[in-house]
């Protein structure tokens, strides 16, 4: 608990057997009430290891994709009574030591969501982010800031915290099951007027850390731009964007 609020960590996992234990060892258990891992039909022993470590473990019988995994994560966290949900990748790329700070930004009542930015400070390149990914991140973020009217330093971090109210109000099931889910969710949060903060976060790039291919990165980039452009067209009243229609 933190400020009387239940904190739940969700881990969207795929072939994370080699890094899960290291990640879990750094989770601040004095603050985190429950950790839920969703195994997206891994080919290794991710699910078995998670269960042996005492995590509530949910396994997809078929691979649903990164976005589909998150949908299961957030639904499970809400069912568990979470007031704040922090998404932490089990690949040890992001430090769990920031969980308390991220959750506190929400339990303080100042923010509805928090993004752990690798761009604030010098964490990205020093942590080993490939230069092409860094440059693509900066260009996409610039375009998104212009189209959405915000001033975030990064839209592409996989380390995020959300309030219960935000998760209940966003129409997440309409979003993609692929990687672009992350950005569609942010576009929705901006559209519905939620308060989003950022915190500086170091990152680690190493052999066992998860990554996507160059081809999928390009596909992701076009998906990100498409979501931002449709957001702007929707707000100009030119073209309705179904992802921004409120839940009934």
Note the pLDDT of residue 168: 98
Higher pLDDT, 208 or 105: 105
Name the token pair of 15: 């072939």
Compute CA distances 29 → 4, 9, 33, 88, 156, whole Å: 15, 10, 7, 14, 27
Q: What is the mean pLDDT of residues 181-203?
A: 96
Cβ atoms 129, 94 nearer than 8 A: no
pLDDT tier for residue 229 given thresholds of 50, 70 and 90: very high
Name the token pair of 202: 């170091």
Query: Hey, is 70 helix, strand or coil?
Result: helix
Cβ atoms 71, 171 nearer than 8 A: no
Note the pLDDT of residue 179: 95
Mean pLDDT over the full length of the chain: 94
Note the pLDDT of residue 146: 97
Strand partners, 114: 161, 197
Q: What is the biggest distance separating any 2 CA atoms in the chain, rounded to whole angstroms?
A: 53
Superfamily designation of domain 7-241: Spore Coat Polysaccharide Biosynthesis Protein SpsA; Chain A (3.90.550.10)
Q: What is the mean pLDDT of residues 129-135?
A: 83
Task: Please check the confidence at residue 126 and state whether its pLDDT lies above 80.
Answer: no
Q: What is the mean pLDDT of residues 15-31?
A: 96
Residue 238's Cα: distance from chain center in Å? 30
């Amino acid at each position: 608990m933190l400020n009387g609020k239940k904190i739940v960590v969700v881990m969207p996992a795929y072939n994370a057997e080699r890094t899960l234990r290291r990640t879990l060892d750094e989770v601040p258990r004095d603050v985190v009430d429950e950790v839920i891992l969703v195994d997206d039909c891994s080919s290794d022993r991710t699910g078995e290891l998670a269960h042996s470590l005492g995590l509530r473990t949910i396994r997809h019988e078929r691979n649903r994709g990164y976005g589909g995994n998150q949908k299961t994560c957030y639904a499970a966290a809400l069912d568990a009574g979470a007031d704040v949900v922090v998404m932490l990748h089990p690949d040890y790329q992001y430090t769990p030591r920031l969980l308390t700070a991220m959750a506190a930004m929400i339990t303080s009542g100042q923010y509805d969501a928090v993004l752990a930015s690798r761009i604030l400070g010098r964490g990205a390149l020093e942590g080993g982010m490939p230069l092409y990914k860094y440059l693509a991140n900066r260009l996409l973020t610039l375009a998104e800031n212009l189209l959405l009217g915000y001033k975030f330093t990064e839209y592409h971090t996989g380390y995020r915290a959300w309030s219960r109210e935000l998760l209940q109000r966003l129409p997440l099931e309409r979003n993609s099951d692929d990687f672009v889910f992350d950005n569609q969710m942010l576009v929705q949060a901006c559209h519905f007027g939620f308060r989003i903060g950022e915190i500086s976060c170091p990152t680690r790039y190493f052999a066992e850390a998860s990554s996507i291919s160059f081809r999928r990165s390009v596909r992701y980039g076009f998906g990100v731009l498409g979501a931002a452009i449709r957001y702007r067209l929707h707000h100009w009243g030119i073209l309705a964007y179904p992802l921004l229609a409120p839940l009934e």
